[in-house]
């Protein structure tokens, strides 16, 4: 596998019973660590000490660059966000920690929470989801990406034997490709401009091709590149009467869509897929929590370790986020280790 996981993290975290540390984005590419007070957990609440947080390259990149459109300031709030867009704001939603206080059934359990980058926090007990024993804590930060992938595939509805293309080999695209490859008889192709992503495709058990070399048409095309060029590729390779499922969110960037040429004659459809709501096909039968629980179970697959990139100590968060803002942060999912500075 491309990245190792830690199964026995050091739990001496940068916090005391009375306080914690958290990252705040304060301006485009700028941020700082701030002390946070901690309440005493009440009935039905838990105190969680963070082990790892994950950096969501797409959404958090838009946040730290100040590119969240004003029209989306309310809809794009993370569940436990503090502050308001554009700045200052405490943002994030990939947190894995250990319950230190709360109901007996949860104390000592490793849990996933949609909480920002903070060393410890108090939340209602129903806000945490236990991580399966077979999922190492660092891999569990990918739950948000896999949950998104589940939702996208519920929208895309792959069928036995389909040819599926995923445009964009980022964290979300890679997670979609891995899950899609589990459908019997399908052939999944991961498409990206970076030839180095061929190794990642191999780890995920799918094919790889550069956009310039894609001459085939596909039953299902999923656009996850976050670029106008990627969307153009997706439209070009969709089959007649086909549908392009757009998993990307472009933030405040205008995106030109080619609706001329053969868009109408091939009767193509563009469809948005967004994780904020359960896909319509499952909305009456699955809750968001059930979707997240499914994502965590799917992470028992160690192939997902190939999505894990760099790992930094918590005091490096301002530098990590500055690199994310300027586009120099490498890898797919960069993790923050809260057991070391």
295-317 residue pLDDT tens: 999 999 999 999 999 999 999 99
pLDDT at 259 exceeding the cut of 90: no
The predicted model gives 12-18 an average pLDDT of: 52
Given this model, what pLDDT does residue 160 score?
A: 96
Alpha carbon 156 to chain centroid distance? 18
Kindly report the backbone phi and psi dihedral angles of residue 253, in degrees, each rounded to the nearest multiple of 5, phi listed first: -75, 125
The predicted model gives 251-270 an average pLDDT of: 84
pLDDT at 201 exceeding the cut of 60: yes
Q: Report the side by side order of strands in the sheet with 19-27.
A: 30-37, 19-27, 89-90, 82-83
CATH top class, domain 145-272: alpha beta
Given this model, what pLDDT does residue 13 score?
A: 46
Q: How far apart are CA 168 and CA 233, in angstroms?
A: 10
Average pLDDT in the chain: 92
CATH architecture of 19-142+299-337: Alpha-Beta Complex (3.90)
Of 337 and 214, the structure prediction assigns the larger pLDDT to 337
Is the peptide bond prior to 136 cis by the omega test (within 30 degrees of 0)? Answer: no
HEC sequence for the chain: CCCCCCCCCCCCCCCECCEEEEEEEEECCEEEEEEEECCCCCCCEEEEEEEEEEECHHHHHHHHCCCCCHHHCCCCCCCCCEECCCCCEECCCCEEEEEEECCCCCCCCEEEECCCCECEEEEEHHHEEECCCCCCHHHHCCHHHHHHHHHHHHHHCCCCCCEEEEECCCHHHHHHHHHHCCCCCCEEEEECCCCCHHHHHHHHCCEEECHHHCCCCECEEEECCCCHHHHHHHHHHECCCCEEEECCCCCCCCCCCCCCCCCCCCCCEEEECCCCCCCCCCCCCCCHHHHHHHHHHHCCCHHHHHHEEEEEEHHHHHHHHHHHHHCCCCCCEEEEECCCC
The predicted model gives 15-25 an average pLDDT of: 82
Which segments of the chain belong to CATH 3.90.180.10? 19-142+299-337
pLDDT digits (tens, 9 = 90+) for 95-115: 999 999 999 999 999 999 999
Given this model, what pLDDT does residue 187 score?
A: 97
What global pTM score does this model have?
Answer: 0.91
For residue 58, name the pLDDT band (cuts at 50, 70, 90). Answer: confident
Which segments of the chain belong to CATH 3.40.50.720? 145-272
For residue 18, name the pLDDT band (cuts at 50, 70, 90). Answer: low
Given this model, what pLDDT does residue 257 score?
A: 84
Q: What is the dihedral of CA 116, 121, 125, 131, to 10 degrees?
A: 60
The predicted model gives 203-229 an average pLDDT of: 94
Sign of the dihedral defined by the CA atoms of residues 274, 275, 276, 278, in that order: positive
Q: Are 168 and 175 in contact (CB under 8 A)?
A: no
Cross-strand pairs, 231: none
The predicted model gives 175-195 an average pLDDT of: 97
Given this model, what pLDDT does residue 88 score?
A: 98
pLDDT digits (tens, 9 = 90+) for 118-164: 999 999 999 999 999 999 999 999 999 999 999 999 999 999 999 99
Given this model, what pLDDT does residue 129 score?
A: 98
The predicted model gives 210-234 an average pLDDT of: 93
Given this model, what pLDDT does residue 328 score?
A: 93
Given this model, what pLDDT does residue 6 score?
A: 36
For residue 184, name the pLDDT band (cuts at 50, 70, 90). Answer: very high
The predicted model gives 158-179 an average pLDDT of: 97
Given this model, what pLDDT does residue 313 score?
A: 97
Percentage of the chain surpassing pLDDT 90? 83
For residue 216, name the pLDDT band (cuts at 50, 70, 90). Answer: confident
pLDDT at 38 exceeding the cut of 60: yes
For residue 320, name the pLDDT band (cuts at 50, 70, 90). Answer: very high
């Amino acid at each position: 596998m491309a990245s190792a996981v830690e199964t026995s993290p050091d739990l001496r975290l940068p916090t005391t019973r009375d306080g914690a540390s958290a990252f705040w984005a304060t301006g485009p590419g700028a941020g700082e660590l701030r002390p946070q007070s901690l309440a005493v957990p009440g009935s039905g609440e838990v105190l969680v000490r963070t082990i790892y947080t994950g950096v969501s390259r797409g959404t958090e990149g838009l946040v730290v660059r100040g590119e969240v459109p004003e029209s989306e300031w309310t809809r794009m709030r993370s569940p436990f966000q503090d502050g308001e867009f554009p700045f200052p704001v405490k943002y994030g939603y990939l947190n894995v920690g250990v319950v230190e206080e709360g109901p007996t059934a949860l104390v000592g359990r490793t849990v996933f929470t949609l909480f920002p980058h903070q060393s410890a926090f108090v939340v209602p007990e129903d806000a945490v989801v236990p991580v399966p024993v077979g999922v190492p804590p660092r891999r569990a930060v990918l739950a948000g990406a896999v949950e998104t992938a589940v939702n996208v595939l519920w929208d895309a509805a792959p069928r036995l034997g389909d040819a599926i293309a995923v445009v964009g080999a980022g964290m979300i695209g890679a997670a979609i490709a891995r899950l899609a490859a589990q459908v019997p008889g399908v052939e999944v192709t991961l498409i990206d401009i970076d030839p180095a992503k061929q190794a990642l495709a191999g780890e995920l058990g799918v094919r790889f091709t550069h956009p310039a070399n894609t001459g085939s048409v596909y039953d299902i095309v999923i656009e996850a590149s976050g670029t106008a060029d990627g969307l153009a590729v997706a439209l070009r390779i969709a089959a007649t009467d086909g549908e392009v499922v757009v998993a990307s969110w472009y933030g405040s960037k205008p995106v030109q869509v080619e609706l001329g040429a053969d868009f109408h004659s091939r009767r193509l459809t563009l469809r948005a897929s967004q994780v904020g709501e359960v896909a319509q096909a499952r909305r009456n039968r699955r809750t968001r929590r059930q979707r997240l629980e499914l994502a965590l179970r799917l992470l028992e697959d160690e192939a997902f370790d190939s999505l894990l990139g760099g790992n930094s100590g918590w005091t490096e968060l301002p530098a990590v986020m500055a690199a994310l803002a300027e586009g120099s942060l490498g890898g797919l999912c960069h993790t923050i280790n809260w057991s070391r500075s």
